[in-house]
A and B are shown apart, each in its own frame.
Chain A
Amino acid sequence: MEYLKAFITGGIICIIGQILIDKTKLTSARILVLFVVAGCILGGLGIYEYIYNFGGSGATVPLTGFGYLLSKGVIEEVDKIGFLGAFTGGLKASAGGISIAVLFSLLAAIIFKPKEK
């Protein structure tokens, strides 16, 4: 059941992305930006929490989940250290993911050769 919920939640979020691609001709970069910002705002408003409680990884694996992580981190940090937490909480919470992505990108670029297109 948990897996089905994750499947459906993640699938629906991807359908929203697909509709945006097909209907608005937004580039994938714009869609990713939009999804992160949307996830962050929904997280800040406390709405994404419900999506997460229902969908689990279906809510955290899409990029909206990255935005949610940012909002969760920043809110926790503000609660902990006050106003200045607004400037550190987001990056702190997402530091692991960003670092890993940078490291793997670098490693992949060293290991793999560019493909002919």
Chain B
Amino acid sequence: MDTSESKKKEYQKSVKNLSPNSPIIKNCIWAFFSGGAICTFGQILNNYFKSLSFGEDNTALLVNIVLIGMSAVLTGFGLYSKMGKHCGAGTIVPITGFANSMVSPSIEFKTQGFILGLGAKMFTVAGPVIVYGITTSIIVGIAHYFLAG
């Protein structure tokens, strides 16, 4: 048991040395706290806009406007990618990460022109997300029509 344990540790050490990304547990903790924090901030915004008696749909939209706007500014100053180095999925999975995936290439590729640089590269990640999201929603809609209608 002991030898296997120490071997395991040795292996983990070598993996740690080989891959610049630190071990999975640490990454998960970072992802949990950073992602949780962004969502909690979303909840705070949500409650704030609700208290101003916006409807449910408008509240959701306003929350998105603030989160996407903040992500755009942080991305512009190069701060979002710095956060991302530690937070990993915690900054990729929330809507702010989606916004970052649009803003970042937009800034980077504007030197290649506003049409095929900025305009096209903006959708490098968002494009596939929208393509498969919309397609799935159509399937869900058709299924709902035939199964629940």
Contact = CB atoms under 8 A, between A and B. Distances in A.
Interface of A: 2-3, 6-23, 28-29, 31-33, 35-37, 40-41, 43-44, 55-58, 60-67, 69-71, 73-75, 77-79, 82-83, 85-87, 89-91, 94, 96-98, 100-102, 104-115
A59 to B, nearest CB: 8
Nearest to A77: B141
Contacts, number: 274
A8 B126 CA distance: 26
Interface of A is mostly: helix
27 contacts: A3-B43, A6-B42, A7-B39, A14-B89, A17-B89, A18-B28, A18-B31, A28-B101, A28-B125, A32-B93, A36-B129, A36-B132, A36-B136, A56-B46, A58-B40, A58-B42, A61-B67, A61-B94, A63-B94, A65-B95, A67-B133, A75-B144, A104-B99, A106-B106, A113-B107, A114-B108, A115-B107
Most buried by B among A35, A62, A90, A107: A62
Given A57-B42, A58-B43, A11 B122 contact: no
Given A18-B89, A105-B106, 13 more contacts: A7-B37, A14-B34, A19-B28, A21-B89, A31-B89, A40-B140, A43-B140, A60-B60, A61-B38, A74-B141, A94-B133, A101-B98, A106-B118
B93 A63 contact: yes
A26 to B, nearest CB: 10
Interface in B76-123: 76-78, 88-90, 92-99, 101-103, 106-108, 110-111, 118, 122
Interface residues of B, number: 76
B11 interface: no
A79 B148 CA distance: 9
Interface in B23-48: 24, 27-28, 30-40, 42-47
